Amino acid sequence: MLVSNLGCRIVWAWRRGGLASAVALGLAGCHGGSDSDGDGSSSSEASGGTATSEPAEGTTLTETSTAATSTTTTGTSTGTSTLDTDASTGSGLQCSDGRGDAGELCFAPPVDVFVGLPVAALVAATVAPKQGAAQDLVIGHGTGIAVLAGDGSGGFENLAELDTGSVAALAVADLDGDGLGDIAAAHGDSGRVSIAYNDPGGFAFAQDLPFDVEPTPSPSSIAIADFDGVDGPDVVAVDESAAQLHLWLQEPGGGFAAPLSIAIGGNPGEIGVGGLGGSDAPDVAVPNLGGTSVAVLLFNAGSFDIADSVLVGDGPRAVAVTDLDGDGLDDLATADGAGDSASVAFGGAAGIGNAAIYVAGPQPRAVATGDIDNDGRADLVVSLQSANAVAIFLQGDGGAFLSAQWVATPPGPGALAIADFNGDGLGDVAVGSAAGQGGVSLLLSDP
């Protein structure tokens, strides 16, 4: 476990299979009093605390002050992405000075906002009726759904607790057009997909969406998008065990039609939706846990066609779809569970390009995107389930991502959400854990 303080930062190198990537544990910029005798400890004169770490099983942590290099693969060509660990917050930058300079990467120690239950799904969205745009948290856990209302300064209060049974995945969007975020949940253990509508009086369950296939599916991932362009957003879910995709189209006046269910093959992971075909029409990106690819499915004439297949790292478990490079076209990023990597493929008018594969660390579980360092570019965060850390890839020039920097988390990090929870204009990271006592912790920016 990492014990850290606001005043100090430790930089390590993680080495596995001959590859090294920069590791930052307890990011908070050393301000004097740092230990330099090579014993692997660091102290802060301001707080008098110490920071220590225990390496994950099978991982060697060694102190370093030299540049780290990670191998990157793009299509059939190879290159390198490097990071000077002595300047990982940027030349001349300092944490905790309140400035939030571009290129700066600084976090306070994790703060628990939800404890006591294993967490499988996490969404940052504005769901509570309020003034302003403070971000809330929707948490899928072992017995239901917790909704925490954010106060805009990094604090939360309980808004709702929905007794739905165990939740495998969540999606949040305004399904009924009232301006409030509604919740769609996948319940893999009980073979259900449920909808909770949000109104000023609170959340109410309207229905479990029907399945028309046997045996009863085990939905493991879910998303919301308007696939047919009429009657509002629709719901799509994937059954990992049966390798099926199910789509419920919303009907006029509310409610959902019987699902379109198709076999997609492979071993599907956590899906993403977005305009990956060079248009605004939503596609479904389906990572293949048992392979090295992401299938892009396009809704067409009442069914799905395979529009593209993108080669990524080994065993992609989750995918995020968003515009990473600011060109107005969606791109994709994956957490590659078997490859200990993260992959990025940029979309274009003609489709999706080759993926660049970056060293992440042991057992990537989830991926999220957002501007972490205040430079106007989307960065990547990947949870490393067996390392008790997240790997942060800052986006550099030309769409390349710098080598991973690790930030310590509570045990077993999985689900991720990125938003500005404390109102400082910088991306903060919410991390869900399914291990031990479970819960959700916040890594709040500390500019």
Each residue of 39-84: pLDDT tens digit? 333 222 222 232 233 333 333 222 222 222 333 333 322 233 322 2
CB 358 within 8 A of CB 379: no
Where residue 287 falls among pLDDT bands split at 50, 70, 90?
Answer: very high
- CB-CB neighbours of 432 under 10 Å: 29
3-state SS assignment for residue 24? strand
- Distance (Å) of CA 415 to CA 114, 119, 183, 310: 13, 7, 17, 23
3-state SS assignment for residue 272? strand
Mean pLDDT across 228-236: 94
Mean pLDDT across 163-170: 95
Cα distance between residue 279 and residue 290, in whole Å: 29
What is the tens place of the pLDDT at every residue in 360-382? 999 999 999 999 988 899 999 99
CB 40 within 8 A of CB 63: yes
Where residue 307 falls among pLDDT bands split at 50, 70, 90?
Answer: confident
What mean pLDDT, rounded, does the chain reach?
A: 79
| 397 φ/ψ angles, rounded to the nearest 5 degrees | -75, 150
Identify the pLDDT of residue 48. 29
Q: Which of 34-38, 45-49, 240-244, 418-422 has the lowest mean pLDDT?
A: 45-49
- Distance (Å) of CA 304 to CA 38, 171, 299, 379, 417: 57, 21, 4, 30, 28
Q: Which of 21-25, 98-102, 188-192, 300-304 has the lowest mean pLDDT?
A: 21-25
Residue 160, pLDDT > 80, answer yes
CB 125 within 8 A of CB 183: no
